[in-house]
Amino acid sequence: MKVEEQLSRLKRGAIEVISEEELLRKLRRGRPLRVKAGFDPTAPDLHLGHAVLLRKLKHFQEEGHQAIFVVGDFTARIGDPSGQSEARPALSDREIRVNVKTYEDQVFRILDRTKTQVVYNSAWLGKLTGAALIHLASKRTVARTLEREDFSRRYKENHPIGLHEFLYPLLQGQDSVELRADVELGGIDQKFNLLVGRDLQREEGQEPQVVMMMPLLVGTDGVRKMSKSFGNAIVITDSAREMFGKVMSVSDVLMWNYYELLSGLSIREIQELKKGVEAGKVHPRGIKERLAREVVDCFHGGREARTASEEFAKIFQKKGLPSKIEEVRMDSSGEKVLVANLLAEIGLVPSRSEGRRLISQKAVTIDDTRLTDPAGSIARKGSYVIQVGKRRFKKVTFSPVVSGN
């Protein structure tokens, strides 16, 4: 493949590359580039927004470059202030360790494990002495740091900014120095951090890394960036059926963005599909189903993708029930149980208050009967199929508890 063709593939979907000329020059040297992407283990699950960066790292990997997956187990102690209106809550060492354990399994559903270098930035940042940290801090001024949009906004609005937050861009930049990165990938909201890495490399006599920034994937609500805290995320650990249904819930307009950032189709192929929909030759639902199958295939495999597609058609097009519904057996002692309490107890909702809210919104069905009373109850006998929203089902069977002798 010609260098120009490689560049065209690598920059697909990127919002900004600093700079394209530098990347082209690095590619022309003919040696594998060291390409890093960092992820702080601030939560146990990665979502499709993270997958955008991982897929871009995969593109570099497929072109023969060295993919470096940086686990920010040290920087997670601070938390990336990018786009934040307040300081992130501090994580304990235990929380970080638990989150780290889940990352590699999720990451290697996309990246080639045998060709990926996994590093933990505590390996070098954890060894910084007080003197070394002061020296690192001396490389940036408060005035330059306050130029950062989120810091500037918080300062003007009199929201507190911790001194430790000023260190985050420096520590991320130090990762690039330690790894001698040729390219760093990040979301567009990380531009300030990524450019600090270039500055620090220059000061250390290294050639500055190329910065490639990807867009923030919009969540299933079609409004805000994908985030579990917004309730609009498609999580990598979602079941195949849940993942398929969530992709199908994305708007017809937004699905083209998902196609570009998450599918293996070429831009030309995507444009042809879009023309077909706009001309009325193809129904958008069928195109979205194709996208959903590809996304599920990536994380669960082709068989699971086909099964999820069949289940979706059965539930939503044929108004049937899933072929497999988890059954929960419960004690039949007592006459009745509040439905909102039951929903929380069997794990269909995170809390009783959420159960009451969903019932009020007519999002809960028991045996094909839609509930409307948040204080409603059912008898503790027999079996019920409970549905919450469009994709969550459980069967509850009440039976006497048999005590042992």
Among candidate residues 1, 227, 248, 180, the one with its CA nearest the CA of residue 10 = 1
In the chain, where does the domain assigned CATH 1.10.240.10 lie? 238-317
Among candidate residues 169, 56, 37, the one with its CA nearest the CA of residue 103 = 37
Q: What is the spatial distance between Cα 370 and Cα 197, in angstroms, rounded to a whole number?
A: 55
Fold exhibited by the domain 327-399? 3.10.290
Q: How far is CA 178 from the centre of its chain?
A: 26
DSSP letter string over 118-185?
A: EEETHHHHTT--HHHHHHHHTTS-HHHHTTSHHHHHHHHTT----HHHHHHHHHHHHHHHHHT-SEEE
Evaluate if pTM is beyond 0.85. Answer: no
Among candidate residues 297, 278, 301, 281, the one with its CA nearest the CA of residue 289 = 297
Which residues, listed in sequence order, are joined to residue 47 by a DSSP beta bridge? 235
Hey, what are 95's tokens? 């929380």
| Angle, vertex CA 47, rays to CA 289 and CA 110, nearest 5 | 80
The length of the chain is 405
Hey, what are 289's tokens? 């189903």
The class level of CATH for 3-214 reads alpha beta
Torsion angle of C-alpha atoms 285, 291, 292, 295, degrees rounded to 10: -170
Fold exhibited by the domain 238-317? Tyrosyl-Transfer RNA Synthetase (1.10.240)
Q: What does the DSSP 8-state code read for residue 224?
A: S
In the chain, where does the domain assigned CATH 3.40.50.620 lie? 3-214
Q: Are 244 and 293 in contact (CB under 8 A)?
A: yes
In the chain, where does the domain assigned CATH 3.10.290.10 lie? 327-399
Pairing mode, strands 364-366 and 382-388: antiparallel
Maximum distance among all alpha carbons in the chain? 79
Hey, what are 158's tokens? 């009199």
Q: In tens digits, what is the pLDDT along the chain, a chain of 405 residues?
A: 689 889 999 999 999 999 999 999 999 999 999 999 999 888 788 899 999 999 999 999 999 999 999 999 898 888 776 655 455 666 778 888 888 888 878 899 999 999 999 999 999 999 999 999 999 988 888 888 777 777 778 878 888 778 888 888 999 999 999 999 999 999 998 999 999 999 999 999 999 999 999 999 999 988 889 987 788 899 998 889 889 989 998 999 999 999 999 998 988 999 999 999 998 888 888 999 999 999 999 999 999 999 999 888 877 665 666 767 788 888 877 778 899 999 998 888 888 888 899 998 888 988 778 888 889 888 888 778 888 887 788 888 887 765 544
